[in-house]
Amino acid sequence: MTFWGALLQNGAYQAVANTLFKSQRRQFWILASLPLFWIFFANLGPIVEMFWIGFLDSYPPKVGHEPQFTLANWAAFFQDRVFIIPFFRTLAFSFIFTAITLLITYPVAYFLAKHVSRKNQLLFLLLLLIPFWVGEIVRTYAIMILLGNNGAVNLALKSLGLIDRPIPFMYTGFSLGVGIIYLTALYMLLPLYSALEKLPDNYLEAAADLGAGAWTRFRRITLPLSKEGIASGCTLVFLISTGYYATPVLLGGPRSTVFAETIAGFFHVAGD
């Protein structure tokens, strides 16, 4: 007898299976058990816990002191410049970086989808994935080498005779932007590419046939039909770029402290 045959004919297995599959409803809940546990425990649990702690007057719990419910932490957050400035700076940075990423990658995605041969499109996407696979740290380090005072850009500018002294790119909003865009471009490019790739050429030809110029075609046809790609790309890039920690630490300067660094710093003081 084969393994599965033996299993199905096994009395103990049959008894268990009969209980498990007694009704459709029972089967559904057995199938749902682990996913629902995981979703509520591991996905939702930490977030809810974090919010809850935001309402406590002391954390971690101190001996002999029952934590009291309070709104003071939230008030402090909105009043204390140490928190609020990096918080809004992070939002502003992420917003700007997202916009710049969109402006850079839109033409790239369009050119890729419409003017590159099918075979080269795949090759390009494959090449694009290589830097993407490499983690945050390694890519950030690569940007440090590029932009450092003795970095490649300064060397190139110097040897062209454009500058005498190196330009201090590093530890500014600029270097941070270059780094963040380097890390997130793919999340913008892929949704844009897949939206534009689906856009049939004959829509544009039809529009041209009806007398629409290049700018009108872009504004009236291409842009509305790639709206979904733009929306999902921007959402992804915005969310992801707010979450980096190592990149701002390594590339950003004192005037570009982001929220991640602030909470991390605060957390290391208070948390442990």
Partner 1 sequence: MTGEKDTIVHIDNVTKRFGNVVAVDQLDMKIMAGEFVTFLGPSGCGKSTTLRMLGGFENPSEGRIVLDGVDVTSQPPNRRDVNMVFQDYALFPHMTVGQNVSFGLELKGKSRPEIERRMAELLDFLQLSGFRDRTPDQLSGGQRQRVALARALAPDPKLLLLDEPLGALDAKLRGQVQIELKDIQKRTGKTFFFVTHDQEEALTMSDRIVVMNAGRVEQSGTPEDLYFRPESRFVAEFIGETNLINGTVRGVEENAVVLDWNGLSVRGSGHGHRPAAGDNVTASLRLENVTCHNKKPANQNAVEGKVISKLFKGSRTSLDIRVGEREDSIIRAIWTLAMLPKLPMISSGLAGSRNV
Partner 2 sequence: MTRNTRILMSVIYWAFIVYLFVPLALMVTMGFKDSKFIGFPIRSWTLDWYAAVIQDTQVLSVFGYSMTIAIATTILSLIIGTWVAVFLGPNQFRGKAIIFALACLPAVIPGIISAIALRIFARLIDIEPGMFAIILGHTVHNVPFVALVVMARLSTQPKSHIEAARDLGADSIVAFFRVTLPYLKPALIGAGIFCMLLSFDDFVRAFFLGGYQPTLPVLIFAKLRSGMSPEINAISTIVLIMTAILGLWAERSMRRLNKGS
Q: Which residues bind partner 1 (CB under 8 A)?
A: 1-2, 4-6, 8-9, 21
| 257 is a site residue for partner 2 (CB under 8 A) | no
- Residues touching partner 2, count (CB under 8 A): 81
| Strand partners of residue 69 | 56
Cβ of 190: how many Cβ atoms within 10 Å? 20
| For partner 1, the closer CB: 8 or 123 | 8
Does residue 161 come out as left (phi exceeding 0), alpha (psi in the -120 to 50 range) or beta? left
Cβ of 18: how many Cβ atoms within 10 Å? 9
Region of 66-74, 75-83, 106-114, 190-198 interacting with partner 2 (CB under 8 A): 106-114
Q: Which does 2 bind (CB under 5 to 8 A by kind): partner 1, partner 2, none?
A: partner 1
Residues 154-183, mask of contacts with partner 2 (x by CB under 8 A): -x--------------------------x-
Query: Binder to partner 2 among 6, 15, 44, 99 (CB under 8 A)?
Result: 44
CA atoms within 13 A on the CB side of 54: 11
Query: Binder to partner 2 among 112, 170, 176, 190 (CB under 8 A)?
Result: 112
Which of 148, 191, 156, 188 has its CA nearest to residue 172?
A: 148
Phi, psi (degrees; rounded to nearest 5) at 120 = -70, -30
| For partner 1, the closer CB: 8 or 152 | 8
